[in-house]
Amino acid sequence: MRQEHGMKTPYIAGEHNNVILLTSLMTMPVYEADFGWGKPMQFGLPRGSLDDRVGILPSPDGDGVVVNVFFQEAILQRFKKLFYEDVYISSL
């Protein structure tokens, strides 16, 4: 796991060189920025040309999280399998 500018970016590498990029911006004070016209009301990741990634962001009111998921169908199924396996193991 690497950390730059408050971002932690682990990754899950799988078969056929598929990579799922998970990025957390929870510690980045994105709603505190003020460039002269007030603080932002919303912040998100650009869709762009990158697939197979998840962004975890603080909610605008600070009491939760916003999760952006950009997956192809096949990768979504693999991610769900890994996620639920991890949840099960964590509950033991």
Instruction: Name 28's Cβ contacts closer than 8 Å, sequence gap at least 6.
Output: 5, 6, 7, 58
Asked if residues 31 and 60 have their Cβ atoms less than 8 Å apart, the reply is yes
Mean pLDDT of the chain: 77
Q: What per-residue confidence (pLDDT) applies to 38?
A: 92
Give CA–CA dist 4/81, Å, rounded: 29
**Domain spans of the chain?**
2-90
| Residue 16: DSSP 8-state | G
Task: Give 60: exposed, middle or buried? Use CB within 10 Å, 0-12, 13-18, 19+.
Answer: middle
Q: What is the dihedral of CA 54, 60, 64, 69, to 10 degrees?
A: -20
pLDDT number for residue 36: 94
pTM of the model: 0.60
